[in-house]
Structure 1
Amino acid sequence: MTPFPMSPYAPPDADALVTLYEDGAMIIADKPAGLLSVPGRAPEKAFCAASILSERHGAVLTVHRLDMDTSGIMVFARTKVAQSSLSRAFQERKVTKAYLAMVEGRPSPASGTIDLPIAAHSLQRPLRHIAEDGRPAITHFETLKSTSDKSLIQLTPETGRSHQLRLHLKALGHPILGDRFYGDGESAKRLMLHALNLRFRHPESGQHVHFTAPKPDCFL
């Protein structure tokens, strides 16, 4: 297997990671594009969202991840009990997620559902591809705004496969701007994909909670 060529890790400063909410069970943060969610294998990749939050708030525990190039909302647990509860909610698809993406062109129809299975690429990691024998992957999309050559789309995934949104939009014929894996990496200064909000039950109180990471200024 041949690794896909990767750029050197050049993350933004720690201040770019914004804490949106915290309590005794969890922390909600807005991760900037270019920052790893959790530590990578190489020593220089130890600097990440989890390490910044641990330094800022005390030890945090991983619940889920965002791709390094994706910005937006993340939840981290502060106790083992909360981590178990939140992780189970993600696994059982009890967490509602919404993303924003800037894509090439104007999708037609303007809304719909993409139901295409995804598998790991056999020759180049960490790439994925659409494959009949892949794992089920479903994404709902709605166009919010368009110009002559690009559109702002809201995405609601039912599943959480690696690179799902990036692959599904490529398959739709409208790759995400700035996608160096599946589109034209030079079409934007960053991957134009943002995790907008999360809805789930609080791991301690059981109440429904809803958190939003503001839309980046570079989006339509």
Structure 2
Amino acid sequence: MTSASNNSLPQNNQSAIAAQPSYVVLPRDSELNGNRFEFVADFLKWKFNQISAEVWAERITQGKVHWQDGNLISATTPYVATKRVYYYREVEFETKVPFKERILFKNDHSIVVFKPHFLPVTPGGNYVNECLIHRVRKTTGIDTVAPAHRLDKDTAGIILLTTKPETRHQYHQLFLDGNIDKRYQAVAKLTKQILSEYQQGELALPQHWTVKNRLKRGEPSFTMRVAEGEANTHSEISLVEIKGEYGLFELSPITGKMHQLRVHMQSLGMPLLDDKFYPELQPKSLDFVNPMQLLAKKLSYIDPVTNQALSFEVEGLSLP
């Protein structure tokens, strides 16, 4: 089993401002639900109301908000629908993730990376620069690095990144068309029935499930749940090894909804080992121990730009 047990490593929490700007497109009046804004500053205060008006005023005064061409936005810059406003995310304390990513492959249009547990792919929440995209941009010197697909912060494994905006859509299309093969591994505690059947010699491995159901946003909104209605998700899941009360699973997500494999394993009565969201949301923790046992182990595809057949695989999980 992979384990991020370096709890003694320094977390080095400190305030941080994003090295790369984020942006928001100013909506048209018809998209603002009756709201009207004379100035860009007023929109920002409304749109990002979790940040105080005083903080926005300070950021604008300090030159931290600008148009796409770099021209600064002041407190009285007029609102112009459809224009991009760039700003820099800031957090008072940013937790340092003490685990390193590893570049597996790079060509002129893409980079394949192994992402460790606990590291988010893109900025979010308490993470500004402690994310895979910023690290790879810094390592390679390529400011246009962007993910071709998602991988949860709590999931380790292989992820495909793109480097050129003009060819990015071709890599996105691989996933939209199902022309990429993703293989995962997971560890979970077995149901009593499966364990009993195995111990009595009534269950042969591998044991396979096809899981199709409808997933929608749960409560809180960063979770997912199974809902009534036509299926919008599909996973193929196989139990391939048993040790004690735990099983090693191989998983293939045919669709790519958020938290799909995690919720599908829960729906089988076997939530992933050390999953902090399912079946019950656990309190937030800054301890880098007991990572969720889900690994994006293998990625295979034909590069849409070079037409080269590519396949990448990393060392798998082990049972406790």
TM-score normalised to structure 1 length = 0.86
User: What amino acid is the match of 1:192?
Assistant: Q
What residue number does 1:130 align with?
226
SS at structure 2 position matched to 1:81: helix
Alignment pair present for 1:111 and 2:195:
no
What residue number does 1:98 align with?
183
Number of equivalences: 208
The verdict on how the C-alpha distance between 1:139 and 1:49 changes in structure 2, with shifts beyond 3 A counting, is same
SS at structure 1 position matched to 2:133: helix
Deviation per residue, 1:54-87 (Å, 9 max, x gap): 0011221221121100000001111123311111
The verdict on how the C-alpha distance between 1:92 and 1:177 changes in structure 2, with shifts beyond 3 A counting, is same
Deviation per residue, 1:76-130 (Å, 9 max, x gap): 1111233111111111211111100001116847212111111111x31201100
Aligned sequence identity (%)? 23
Q: Write out aligned runs for 1:1-220 (5 A).
A: 10-13=95-98, 16-40=100-124, 42=126, 44-57=127-140, 58-59=142-143, 60-105=145-190, 108=194, 110-121=207-218, 123-133=219-229, 136-183=232-279, 189-216=290-317, 219=319
SS at structure 1 position matched to 2:275: coil
Unaligned runs of 5+ in 2: 1-92, 195-202, 284-288
Q: Distance in 2 between matches of 1:213 and 1:125?
A: 32
Unaligned runs of 5+ in 1: 1-7
Q: Distance in 2 between matches of 1:137 and 1:9?
A: 34
Q: Distance in 1 between matches of 2:167 and 2:319?
A: 33
SS at structure 2 position matched to 1:45: coil
Runs of 4+ displaced beyond 3 Å: 8-11, 106-109, 183-186
Contact 1:25 1:203 in 2 (8 A): no
What residue number does 1:4 align with?
none
SS at structure 1 position matched to 2:265: helix
SS at structure 2 position matched to 1:117: strand
Structure (1 or 2) with the larger CA radius of gyration: 2
Deviation per residue, 1:15-39 (Å, 9 max, x gap): 6101111111111100000000111
